[in-house]
Amino acid sequence: MATILQDLGFLEFFLPVFTFLFIFVLVYAVLDKFKLMGENKWLKLIAAFSVALLFLFSQDTLKFVQFITPWFVVLVVVALFILSLFMFMGLKEGDVEKTIKDPVVYWTVIVIIIILLIIAIGEVFSGLAPDQQSGNPPTEGLKAVTHPRTLGALFLLVVAAFAAKFISSHVEKG
């Protein structure tokens, strides 16, 4: 008997179309939000379409987008759950704005995003040269990045950086 997940396997055929639409909408939104190409709507549409088409023609960039998108969705969902939890406990909307504008918070988010991007680049683009013996793409880069010792060292570096920042900010005030 077929399960629902087996029946949805045909959606993998449409994955490049979904990726194309995702890149198209994302690029258009960025161009429109920051007014990078002025007020001309058609120019922004053509530019967004061109960038999405370039992503569609490169298999490596498609793999990169398909690898990184679920991680960013998880990051956003976790952030929303944490925000909902704090608001449920009585945190006001103004306090949330102040917290988000705090450099510690947005630098932490930026560091997490950079780590995700490095892992995605290592996972997607390290497979360019197959292993000579087995013919499989090497995954040692991802194994090295996700090894507990590497993650522990990275965690200690982040904690030390925040501690140095907090200590130096208290010394400057005093």
Confidence of residue 6 (pLDDT cuts 50, 70, 90): low
| Same domain, residue pair 109 and 154 | yes
Per residue in 94-138, pLDDT (tens digit) is: 888 888 888 888 888 888 888 888 877 777 776 544 555 555 555
Looking at residues 34-57, what average pLDDT do you find? 91
1 pLDDT higher than 50: no
- Note the pLDDT of residue 45: 93
Is residue 64 within 8 Å of 120, Cβ to Cβ? yes
The whole-model pTM stands at: 0.62
Q: What is the pLDDT of residues 51-91, one digit of tens each?
A: 999 988 888 888 888 888 888 888 889 889 988 888 888 88
Q: Would you say residue 33 lies in a domain?
A: yes
> Structural domain tally of the chain?
2
Residues 169 and 117 in one domain: yes
Three-state secondary-structure class, residue 135:
coil
- Residue 28 near residue 48, CB atoms below 8 Å: yes
3-state secondary structure 29-93: HHHHHHCCCCCCHHHHHHHHHHHHHHHHHCHHHHHHHHHHHHHHHHHHHHHHHHHHHHHHCCCCH
Residues 120 and 159 in one domain: yes
Find the domain containing 173 and state its range: 66-128+136-174
Whether residue 3 lies inside any domain: the answer is: no
In a domain, 147, yes or no: yes
Is 83 part of any domain?
yes
Distances (CA, A) of 40 to 28, 37, 45, 48, 172: 12, 7, 9, 13, 48
Tell me the pLDDT tens digit for each residue of 132-164: 555 555 566 667 777 778 778 888 888 888 888
Q: Kindly tell me the burial class for residue 22, based on how many C-beta atoms sit within 10 Å of its own C-beta (0-12, 13-18, 19 or more).
A: middle
- Would you state the pLDDT for residue 5? 53
Residue 8 lies in a domain: no
Domain assignment of residue 40, yes or no: yes
Of 150, 159, 127, 112, which Cα lies nearest the Cα of 63? 127
- Residue 6, domain member (yes or no): no
Q: Is the domain of 39 the same as that of 108?
A: no
